[in-house]
Amino acid sequence: MSRLPFELLLALRYLRPKRTFVSVITLISVVGVALGVAVLMIVISVMSGFDQELRDKILGFNTHLKVVAAPRRTMQDYKRVMSIISSNREVKAVGPFVIGQVLIRTEPPQGVEPLNRAAYVRGIVPALETNLTILPHSIKEGKFDVGDRGLLIGLELAQELQVEAGDRVLIYSPGELEKWRKSVEEKQQKVSAGVEYEVRGIFDVGYFDFNASVVVVSLSDAQELFDLGTSVHGIMAMLKEPNRARLVGDQIQTILGPNYHATTWMEENANILNALVVEKNVQFVVLFFTMIVAALCILSALITFVIQKTREIGMLKALGATDLQVAGLFLSQGAFVGAIGDIAGYCFARLALAYRNEFLHFMDRVFGFSLFPPSIYQFTELPALILARDSLLICGSAWIICILGGAIPAWHAARLKPVEALRYE
């Protein structure tokens, strides 16, 4: 004899496949729950992957904290500021930086039209950069060398300019362009020809915007480009815990005083990070209604089942079944349908996520264009991150909705009077 309560045994028996209209609706309900769970898990996992990958890529090339002087001022005493910042126990590495926009012009062979692009030049100290960013380990062509007018260029920008390691380019800084303008106004024969740099390496930090808009030179070369002398634009700092950047920034800013300002990586990228959070929440709410539709299918199936089994319900109550046991029979059916749909949807979602990029590449070949262009989404592969809390929330919510879908039929069946039920038809 089975030790299961009889209402559970009956629920399992009634769920066995039969060639009836109710069985078809039950099957549709299971498929609906499975699809709702699978689609919701896939979308939320991809959005979580986007968020995680974006944070990793941003923090791979950017630091957790930047400290700059008051607006429109350079930092003359940057070594003292570096010492103060590094004394904070939350800081694990610091380094000065210079950053600004420039114009890059290629030097092609005779007869070939040169190419021009605006980009951001970043001045670094090579010895300190290893502890600050992944740049030294992201060189795809050439070598990590910015000495003696050497330059590192992003992969996408290098492709746009059609340059390789060993080629030479001209860089025009705002100061050089201003000198050019004045010389034209004063009708002088001598004009600036830009500063010549050799492309020593091409880097790929995994983030399209950085690869397409940044070039890297030595700190001294950047200071010369922007006429900074011995000053810099600010100090970069890597922390032991990135999420504590705002707290550490406030501590450092309090010590340095009002003439300095600390900016966190979260503030610099607030727009895109907040947009991802909002989009993830909206998609969760919208796709959640898919499971509500499946619950309505369960409701329809169980209402039909109650009408079909009215006499059997009357017999059960006449034999001593309580209202709670009769209600439990229909709630159990909803729970079983939800459980089967949860398991099927979860397995399908894991399978789809495991082969997501293979499927994406297949669809690209079928349609003849990229469904996931890196220039828009910043990544060459579709990211995904399956979080336990998201899986529990989705599967748990689907299961509860399925149980609630059987609540009205269960309540109606429990209220049936044995005499009226037995008189049915």
DSSP code string of 353-396? HHTHHHHHHHHHHHHTS-SS-HHHHS-SS------HHHHHHHHH
Give the C-alpha separation, 81 to 99, whole Å. Answer: 18
Residue 266 pLDDT exceeds 80? yes
In the chain, helix, strand, coil percent, each to 5? 55, 15, 25
Closest CA to 308 of 173, 413, 160: 413
Angle 51-54-59 from CA coordinates, rounded to 5° = 125
Whole-number pLDDT of residue 52: 81
Which amino acid makes up residue 303?
I
pLDDT tens for residues 169-193? 998 887 776 776 666 666 665 555 6
Q: Which residue has the higher pLDDT, 145 or 327?
A: 145
E strand or H helix that includes residue 215 = strand 214-218
Query: Which residue from 24, 13, 27, 20 is spatially nearest to 308, judged by alpha carbons?
Result: 20
Among 65-79, 236-250, 317-331, 364-378, name the most confident range. Answer: 236-250
Contact 170, 102 (CB under 8 A): no
- % of the chain exceeding 90 in pLDDT: 18
Segment among 8-22, 30-44, 293-307 with least mean pLDDT: 8-22
Answer for the pair 76, 230: CB distance below 8 angstroms, yes or no.
yes
Say what the pLDDT of residue 158 is: 92
Q: For residue range 310-322, list pLDDT tens digits in order.
A: 666 666 666 666 7
Kindly tell me if the per-residue pLDDT of 16 is higher than 50. yes
In tens, the pLDDT along 75-115 reads: 888 889 999 999 999 999 999 999 999 989 888 877 778 88
Asked whether the predicted pLDDT for residue 422 surpasses 70, the reply is no
Higher-confidence residue of 266 and 320: namely: 266
pLDDT at 403: 79
Mean pLDDT, to the nearest integer, of 26-37? Answer: 80
* Exposure on the CB side of residue 304, measured as CA atoms within 13 A: 14
Q: Where are the alpha helices (DSSP H) in 78-137?
A: 78-86, 126-129
- CA dist 300 and 409 (Å) reads 9
Residue 254's SS3 state is helix
pLDDT at position 147 = 86
d(C-alpha 391, C-alpha 396), whole Å: 8
Position 11 confidence tier, pLDDT thresholds 50, 70, 90 = low
Per-residue pLDDT at 98: 92
Calpha distance 339→342 (Å, rounded): 5
Which has the closest alpha carbon to 62: 340, 371, 272, 301?
A: 272
Q: Which of 7-11, 43-47, 337-341, 361-365 has the lowest mean pLDDT?
A: 7-11
Q: Does residue 154 sit in helix, strand or coil?
A: strand
Under a CB-based contact definition with an 8 Å cutoff, are residues 334 and 403 in contact? yes
Q: Looking at residue 208, what is its pLDDT? A: 80
Q: Tokens representing 32? A: 């609906």
What stretch of H or E contains 302?
helix 270-308
Beta bridge partners of 153: 202, 215
Average pLDDT over residues 295-319: 66
As a whole number of angstroms, the distance between CA 129 and CA 347 comes to: 44
pTM, entire model: 0.68
Mean pLDDT of 347-351: 92
pLDDT on residue 202: 93
Q: Is residue 114 classed exposed, middle or buried when 0-12, 13-18 and 19+ CB atoms within 10 A define those classes? A: exposed
Mean pLDDT over each residue of the chain, to the nearest integer: 80
State CA 384 to chain mean position distance: 8
Report whether 45 contacts 349 (CB < 8 A): yes
Q: Distance (Å, rounded) from C-alpha 273 to C-alpha 98? A: 25
> Which residues sit opposite 40 in a β-bridge?
none
Give strand pairing partners of 230. Answer: none
The predicted structure's pLDDT at residue 275:
74
Helices (H), ranges, 62-173 = 78-86, 126-129, 155-161
- Write the DSSP symbol of residue 136: G
pLDDT band at 346 (very low <50, low <70, confident <90, very high): very high
> How high is the pLDDT of residue 18?
56
Of 97-111, 196-210, 263-277, the range with the lowest mean pLDDT is 263-277
User: Is 133 in a helix, a strand, or coil?
Assistant: coil
Q: What is the pLDDT of residue 120?
A: 93
Unique residue bearing structure tokens 């909002």:
278
Query: Do residues 203 and 138 lie in contact, with contact meaning Cβ atoms separated by under 8 Å?
Result: yes
Instruction: Answer yes or no: is pLDDT of 73 > 60.
Output: yes
Count the neighbouring beta carbons within 10 Å of the beta carbon of residue 362: 11
424 pLDDT higher than 90: no
